[in-house]
Structure 1
């Protein structure tokens, strides 16, 4: 861990910001880095990157990538000691994505009627529903349900908090399975399934060939909200895990990375059905021909 908590902020126009974000995503040494990218000032076209490194090496790597891009103003700030989890919980509003309403314990009294509610608190796993990639996945899934599609078996690759598999289970999927290479995430996802009274199973596993995952293949729908590099690497396994006519909802990628993902999936028989954008992030809905 770094000796003191840091926040690295970069501001600039969209192209430099997305270029820097792509460089961070492509760096294998920064695969676990936490950052966000969004449009800060629509009138001026200013975009902002906020990064929160957890080690000194991570901080140096992120700062180097940001400063290497011309047109970005980079600031490194020390964060004062605080209960960041409690502060983040109090500042996270509920998220609405189609029929889905994602909320934390602090918003217990704001839950509306007639919605599919998902109680997901911020914690050690990714996926509270606030990130543009998660919202994009939920929006894509909601539109599929609106068309009357049903999914008997759903797989959530890189499940994080389990929000996507839980959403599937709460909308009628009888077999919803998730995997994560982070053991804590798999544990948290199982806890969230219990909290939401959702019939899901989450496993700490590397790859899709784990026996507990493979036993339910082929799946009708595969979520993979991870990063561009592992999306490309896992393309053959995701294709193998899906039935013919099955759907893959892929996210964790920037708009600028869409072609890279499609170059990996189109040769495997996938066609694009829908693309959803939230800020700089993209969610792709593909169907296996």
Structure 2
């Protein structure tokens, strides 16, 4: 571990920042790094990366990658000891995504009456609902719900459980989430109880796990993870879905759309919609017969 918490910040064009994070996604030595990418100044076309390495090797690899690109300006800062998670959550505004309203405990008094309200406390898990990938998934789900219903829903890599909880609160009879991270499973189950939602979450390393197969096949599968595992899961997700079932995929950059889409269309899926939020993409694909 690094001796103190480190934050690496880079500024540059969209092309330059997206190229760097695409490089990181392809590097197995950086698979544990947390980062965000967003448009900081629309008028000037400035994008920003914030990366939070946890080891000296990750720091070195990230800095070398960023400083090797003359189009980026990079700074490295030490983070003082603090409860950064609590501080960041307290400053997050609620999010509206179609019929869904995602909020934290600090926004209890700002909840509308005419929305599907999802109270999500992140703890150590990903998915407060603020990230562009999660918002994209919720928007896609909201649009689908205007014309069809999904009895059995699976959320792969559920994190805080927000997507499976959204399914449970809009009528899905089965809303199952899986994660390879045991603390995330615990947090997701706590969030389901907090929302009085009939969603359940299990610790499972793949879609062939009996806990997953036993509830299927599914009408809809969420997978908000990363591009490489999305590609690797194209056949397992197809197997988990009923013919005509829908996959909502995210966790990928716009630059990775073609690769992920190709993996699924080769398995008989049809691309129905793309949703873009900042640099991120969500894909809606329907399985053929």
Q: What TM-score comes out, normalization by structure 2 length?
A: 0.98
Deviation, structure 1 residue 122: 2.8
1:79 equivalent in structure 2: 79
Is contact 2:151–2:219 with CA below 8 Å preserved after alignment? yes
The 5-angstrom pairing of residues 127-138 of structure 1 reads 127-138=127-138
Deviation, structure 1 residue 57: 2.0
- Does residue 20 (structure 1) correspond to residue 20 (structure 2)? The answer is yes
The 5-angstrom pairing of residues 186-225 of structure 1 reads 186-225=185-224
Deviation, structure 1 residue 254: 0.2
Deviation, structure 1 residue 81: 1.8
Deviation, structure 1 residue 28: 1.2
2:102 equivalent in structure 1: 102
**Gaps spanning 5+ residues in structure 2: where?**
none
Alignment partners' CA distance in 2, 1:202 and 1:143: 25
- Report how many residues are paired: 288
Is contact 1:16–1:70 with CA below 8 Å preserved after alignment? no
The 5-angstrom pairing of residues 49-128 of structure 1 reads 49-128=49-128
Alignment partners' CA distance in 2, 1:162 and 1:110: 22
Is contact 1:153–1:176 with CA below 8 Å preserved after alignment? yes
- Which segment drifts farther, 84-93 or 168-177? 84-93
Deviation, structure 1 residue 239: 0.7
Alignment partners' CA distance in 2, 1:278 and 1:28: 26
2:239 equivalent in structure 1: 240
Deviation, structure 1 residue 35: 0.6
Deviation, structure 1 residue 29: 1.6
* Deviations 1:197-222 (CA, angstroms, capped at 9, x unpaired): 01111111101001010012210000
Deviation, structure 1 residue 85: 2.0
Deviation, structure 1 residue 65: 2.2
* Deviations 1:66-106 (CA, angstroms, capped at 9, x unpaired): 22333111110111222212211221110110000000001
Is contact 2:153–2:175 with CA below 8 Å preserved after alignment? yes
Alignment partners' CA distance in 2, 1:2 and 1:199: 41
- Does residue 254 (structure 1) correspond to residue 253 (structure 2)? The answer is yes
Is contact 2:122–2:187 with CA below 8 Å preserved after alignment? no
The 5-angstrom pairing of residues 168-179 of structure 1 reads 168-179=167-178
1:8 equivalent in structure 2: 8
* Deviations 1:240-282 (CA, angstroms, capped at 9, x unpaired): 1011100000000000000010111111001111100000000
Q: What TM-score comes out, normalization by structure 1 length?
A: 0.98
Alignment partners' CA distance in 2, 1:83 and 1:239: 41
Secondary structure at the counterpart of residue 177 of structure 2:
strand
Alignment partners' CA distance in 2, 1:145 and 1:170: 12
Structure 1 vs Structure 2 CA RMSD: 0.9
1:36 equivalent in structure 2: 36
Alignment partners' CA distance in 2, 1:189 and 1:122: 9
